[in-house]
Amino acid sequence: EISAPWTFHNLQELRHSASLANKVFLQRDYSDGTTCRFQTKFPSELESRIERPLFEDTVKRLNIYYAEAEKMGGQSYLEGCLACATAYLIFLCMETRYEKVLKKIGRYIQEQNEKIYAPRGLLITDPIERGMRVIEISIYEDRGSSGSCSGSSSTSGSSAR
């Protein structure tokens, strides 16, 4: 149940009228080995901000995309063999499949931010910008309202306006 006293219509508005209150980090889930997966546990700080199914949906989707990027099958073997045969020069003109999927992930996160997260005062950072270690979710407070969140220990520069 969301009880936000503010609404942000887009990311621009979020940036201009909100201040960073807190950050939540979703860590990696290594139970499947070294493949890229993130924990889908719903963080308690987000309970009042977003519905659980929406959130879990986003994270599950991201996990699916990462699994697709790292999938080892006919296409990736073909790409690997072709690259080896050309002494890896082919990557000067071609993008690897992994990079293509990463771009897709970037677009997906942007779209999710615009449609779902920014209107609730949240922002997802693409994990590639954090070395694929975490999914960072920034929680914003409306500047006008008195901060109901716990004092922030994070003072990242992104709150600079």
Partner 1 sequence: MYLGLDEPVRECQYNQICTRNSLPMETLGHKKKKIPRRKWQVFPGRNRFYCNGRVMMARQTGVFYLTLVLIMVTSGLFFAFDCPFLASNLTPAIPVIGGVLFFFVLGMLFRASFSDPGVLPRATPDEAADLERQIGAANGPSGPGYRPPPRTREVVINGQTVKLKYCFTCKIFRPPRASHCSLCDNCVERFDHHCPWVGNCVGKRNYRFFYLFILSLSFLTVFIFAFVITHVILRSNRTGFLSALKDSPASVLEVLVCFFSVWSIVGLSGFHTYLISSNQTTNEDIKGSWSNKRAKDNYNPYSYGNILTNCCAALCGPLPPSLIDRRGFIQSDTPQPVSHSNGSSMYASTQLHTHMAAATPLLHSNSVMIGGGGPPFPGKSSLVVPCASLAPSQPSLPSMPGLSCAGDMLTLRDPDTHCHHHHFASPEETPSPSGPMPLTLPCAAHMTHGGHIHPAQLYDPASQDSLHEDSVRGLVKLSSV
Residues that bind partner 1 (CB under 8 A): 11-12, 15, 23, 25, 27-28, 30-34, 69-72, 76-77, 79-81, 83-84, 87-88, 91-92, 95-99, 102-103, 106, 109-110, 113, 123, 125-126, 128-134, 136, 153-158, 160
Residues 48 and 3: beta-carbon distance below 8 Å: yes
Residues 58 and 124: beta-carbon distance below 8 Å: yes
Distance CA 126, CA 107 (A): 10
Phi and psi dihedrals of 122, rounded to 5?
-125, 160
For residue 111, the minimal CB distance to partner 1 (Å) is 11
Q: Which is nearer to partner 1, 3 or 34 (CB)?
A: 34
For residue 58, the minimal CB distance to partner 1 (Å) is 15
Q: Which is nearer to partner 1, 3 or 31 (CB)?
A: 31
Full DSSP string of 98-125: HHHHHHHHHHHHHHHIIIIIGGGTEEEE
Alpha-carbon distances, residue 132 vs 25, 55, 139 (angstroms): 12, 19, 20
Q: Which is nearer to partner 1, 38 or 53 (CB)?
A: 38
Phi and psi dihedrals of 19, rounded to 5?
-125, 150
Q: Which is nearer to partner 1, 51 or 114 (CB)?
A: 114
For residue 3, the minimal CB distance to partner 1 (Å) is 25
For residue 63, the minimal CB distance to partner 1 (Å) is 16
